[in-house]
Amino acid sequence: MTVTVELHGRLADGAPSRSWSLDIPGQSCRVEDAVRAACAVVPGLGGGLDGIAFAVGDRLVSRSAEIVHGDVLSLLPPVSGG
Amino acid sequence: MSRPPTGGRGEAGRWLGRESLDAGALARETGDPGSGALVTFAGTVRDDRSTREVTAITYTAHEPLAARVLCELESEAVTAHGAMRCRVRHRLGRVPVGEASVIVAVRAAHRGDAFAACRAVIDALKERAPIWKEEHFADGSSGRPDGVPLREGSRAGDAGGDHA
């Protein structure tokens, strides 16, 4: 399956791209598995995941949530709006 | 109250945009002949004069989720904080010192509820909106301040979100 990974805030700083397609074996996987796969692709990403939340589409999801082909998985660092 | 966005990026324009914010326009949107109080809050970019001179802040967002959160906050102002109507709008992109980055406009029957609701909305926005700032300094450098982790149990369709 293929999902899109999006980096936001400080996670995007210095990354080769803010968004990319990630190929993952199988029909579905958990968010944490996709994140692990993303870290293998983007050097240094794994070291910056403290306090990171996850979203699929416009919904927050847990690390154990299931994602499927075509989903857009967003990695959200601690926020600073307002 | 605003209708919740369905996730399309075009809909986010009701709550997010790159143009200068217009507090008067938001206040007019909340107009209600039954309200006796209007409270408008504007968060403005400042040079906090701590170490380096801030000249501007750039704001980015997960726009579909941020729109959903801001819509929820507008609704909560009414359902949970005694407001009659509420509008929230956050600016994205580069915002110079002195200009507003966020506006909250609240109408209520009485000033107590209007003040309380406005305070509740901006406080919640700072914890729940997926918006990030990058500070720009006079020496040409930039940096990101520490933020607030989005919490498990936050709204915006949270299905038990937790952190890495």
Only one residue has tokens 């407001």, namely B83
Q: Which residues contact B131 (CB under 8 A, 6 or more apart)?
A: A79, A80, A81, A82, B59, B60, B61, B66, B90, B92
For residue B99, what are its two tokens?
């200009």
Q: With an 8 Å Cβ cutoff, are A74 and B62 in contact?
A: yes
Identity of the residue in B7, B150, B152 whose CB atom sits nearest the CB atom of A57: B7
CA–CA distance, A2 with A12 (Å, rounded to integer): 20
**pLDDT tens-digit profile of B136-147?**
999 999 999 999
Question: Which DSSP symbol is given to B24?
Answer: H
Tell me the β-bridge partners of B40: B105
Q: With an 8 Å Cβ cutoff, are A79 and B145 in contact?
A: no
Amino acid (one-letter) located at A57: G
Contacts of B149 in chain A (CB under 8 A): 51-53, 78-79
Q: With an 8 Å Cβ cutoff, are A58 and B133 in contact?
A: no
Residue B13, CA distances (Å) to A7, B8, B67, B92 in order? 21, 10, 8, 11
**pLDDT tens-digit profile of B44-68?**
999 887 778 999 999 999 999 999 9
Distance from CA of A29 to the nearest CA of B (A): 16
CA–CA distance, A28 with B65 (Å, rounded to integer): 23
**pLDDT tens-digit profile of B12-25?**
999 999 999 999 99
Distance from CA of B108 to the nearest CA of A (A): 22
Q: What percent of chain A has pLDDT over 70?
A: 100
| Contact yes or no for B97/B45 (Cβ under 8 A) | yes
pTM exceeds cut of 0.80: yes
**pLDDT score for B148:** 96
